[in-house]
């Protein structure tokens, strides 16, 4: 049991540092004008229990796929940071806005979450629902 817990802790730390490195690397580059791609940072808040915390997201376009976008999330609650969830979303960009209406199955049997909202070059605002919880995520450029 102790070795399994140690392995899990090491995996979380490695994942955290890789995500943080990727996020910092993207922050050093200026987001393309009128683009939704790049780093985002904000807060998630549950309407069910009032829990809230920071959330980070890296948005990128899937190469050679016109309607596919990759969202990499990391979230926090209290002292903990968790995630590096990769969420592939099919969406048609309309002008500068990317309407979001998608589902993501979280690893480790943490359920399926649905998001609905919009992403513009200036603001990322969604509602989430799943696994007995619902709430909002509002992000901006860091």
What is the tally of helices (H) and strands (E) in the chain? 1, 8
Q: Please give the structure tokens belonging to residue 8.
A: 């899990």
Q: What is the DSSP letter of 30?
A: P
Domains identified in the chain and CATH numbers? 2-140 (2.40.128)
Q: Please give the structure tokens belonging to residue 15.
A: 């994942």
Burial class (CB in 10 A: 0-12, 13-18, 19+), 36: buried
Query: What pLDDT, on the 0 to 100 scale, is given for residue 76?
Result: 85
Q: Please give the structure tokens belonging to residue 27.
A: 């922050």
Spatial separation of the C-alpha atoms in residues 24 and 78, rounded to whole Å? 22
Burial class (CB in 10 A: 0-12, 13-18, 19+), 77: middle
Q: What is the pTM of this model?
A: 0.78
Beta bridge mates, 121: none
Residues found in the chain: 142
Query: DSSP for 102-123?
Result: EEEEPTTT--EEEEEEEE-SS-
- Written as tens digits, the pLDDT of the chain (142 aa) is 444 433 344 444 444 567 777 777 766 676 667 889 999 999 999 999 999 999 999 999 999 998 899 999 888 887 777 777 888 899 888 778 999 999 988 777 778 889 999 999 999 999 999 988 999 999 999 8
């Amino acid at each position: 049991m102790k070795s399994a817990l140690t392995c899990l802790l090491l995996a979380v730390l490695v994942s955290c540092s890789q995500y943080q490195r990727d996020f910092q690397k993207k922050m050093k580059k200026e987001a393309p004008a009128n683009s939704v791609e790049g780093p985002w940072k904000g807060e998630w808040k549950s309407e069910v229990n009032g829990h809230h915390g920071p959330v980070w997201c890296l948005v990128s376009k899937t190469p050679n796929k016109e309607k596919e976008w990759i969202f990499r999330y990391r979230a926090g609650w209290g002292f903990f940071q968790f995630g590096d969830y990769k969420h592939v979303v099919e969406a048609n960009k309309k002008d500068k806005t990317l309407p979001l209406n998608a589902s993501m199955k979280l690893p480790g049997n943490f359920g399926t979450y649905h998001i609905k909202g919009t992403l513009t070059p200036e603001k990322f605002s969604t509602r989430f629902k799943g696994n007995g919880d619902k709430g909002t995520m509002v992000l901006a450029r860091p």
